Each structure stands twice: as C-alpha cells, then as structure tokens.
Chains A and B, each alone.
Chain A
Amino acid sequence: DIQMTQSPASLSASVGDRVTITCRASQGISGYLAWYQQQPGKVPKLLMYAASILQSGVSSRFSGSGSGTDFTLTISSLQPEDVATYYCQKYDSSPFTFGGGTKVEIK
C-alpha cells in the first residue's frame, strides 16, 4: 500500500507568515490528492482537491501544488482562524489513506 507522509508534524508561525506543509506519497499518485483542515474540536473540512483545486468557499489564502509523489499546501498569510491540523488524503486507488497530519499553531 502507498504511504502518505506529512511534514512537519507540527509548526508554529506568526500571524501573516507564509506557511508550507508537505505531503509525500511513497509511490506516484498523479494529482489524486485532497487536503483537509480540522480546527480544534471541529469536524474536518475539505480545502483542496486534485492537488490544486480550491474547494468552493475556501479562502484564497490556501493554495496547493504538486503531482506524482510530492505535494504542498501553502497558507499565504497565516491568520488566527487557520490554527488547525491539516491532513492530506490520496484517492488514486484503495486504500484511500490520510497522511498523519500537520498541526499549525500561532507563535
């Protein structure tokens, strides 16, 4: 099975900083990758799919890129409401595995 590895596991940044989260697949998955945000105590929310397509209603501060094995989620200017854990998920084939998550905090 393909493994999904996110890095870093956690990060702390200042409001207004540019933040980048990486998701790496152990084998190529083309562009079949989604990103989710889970704010503390809340339900996960879809941010991005097909690696770079922003889900309707999601802030344009978020962007995604990548294909094959390496993907990134970027927050252009970190805001307090972005404090959350972010997960990637592959959906090229079963099992549709999530990455381990990246916890983003405000410094």
Chain B
Amino acid sequence: EVQLVESGGDLVQPGGSLRLSCAASGFVFDRYGMDWVRQAPGKGLEWISFISSNSYTTYYADSVEGRFIISRDNAKNSLYLQMNSLRDGDTAVYYCARDPGQIAVARLDNWGQGTLVTVSS
C-alpha cells in the first residue's frame, strides 16, 4: 500500500523558515516524480512544486519561486520542502503527492494526509 506521511508543519512568524518532510513507503520511490500541493483554509488546491525522480528537474509555481526549495533523498525514501521568507499567504495545508511522471508532472495519483503550516505573528 502506498503511504505518504508529511511532517514539519508548525506556526511560524512572517519572514521565518520551515522544512517539511514527506516519508514515502509502499512503492519504489526513485521511479516516481513527486509534487507539493497546498490548500489555504477554505480555498482550492494550488500546485507549488515538482521534482523529477532523479532530482535533475524541478519546477515551481511563481508564488513560491525563489523562496521554496524542493528536494528528495531517494536513499531515505523522503521528499522535502524548504520554505523560506514565509508570508501570511503561505498559510495552508501542504500535501505531498506521488507523480508517475519521472521528468515532469503527469498526474498526482497518491496523496498524503497533509501538514498544516500557519504563518502569523
């Protein structure tokens, strides 16, 4: 069974940093791309980042480009999102998702339960 478990969500002040993790199990992690998607309270889904299976290719939404960094450790079956210069508008539940696309997004076929990031002073 595919399992994705996010962690690292917290309350952080504007301008602060946070690192999210996503632990993957139940599939061959290094054969899949991975995505981060967020959902602000009461709002829709926002795709924010993709990383290819071999980490060579990354993509970001304009809203996080230059502030967030996606990475992965295939030896640890883990995905990360380093979030810097956080803003109030970054408050959301952050989901990691598995992507059969090895070099670009193809579809998000399994999702974690999400971790809540709250940016507030």
Contact = CB atoms under 8 A, between A and B. Distances in A.
Interface of A: 1, 34, 36, 38, 43-46, 49, 55, 85, 87, 89, 91, 93-101
A89 B105 CA distance: 10
Contact of B50 (A34, A96, A100): A96
Describe B's contact surface by its main secondary structure. Answer: loop
B67 to A, nearest CB: 15
A45 B111 contact: yes
Interface residues on B, range: 20 to 34
Contacts, number: 63
Describe A's contact surface by its main secondary structure. Answer: loop
Interface of B: 35, 37, 44-47, 50, 59-62, 95, 101, 104-114
Given A43-B112, A94-B50, A95-B62, A101 B44 contact: yes
A30 to B, nearest CB: 13
Contact of B95 (A44, A55, A91, A93): A44
Contacts of B50: 94, 96
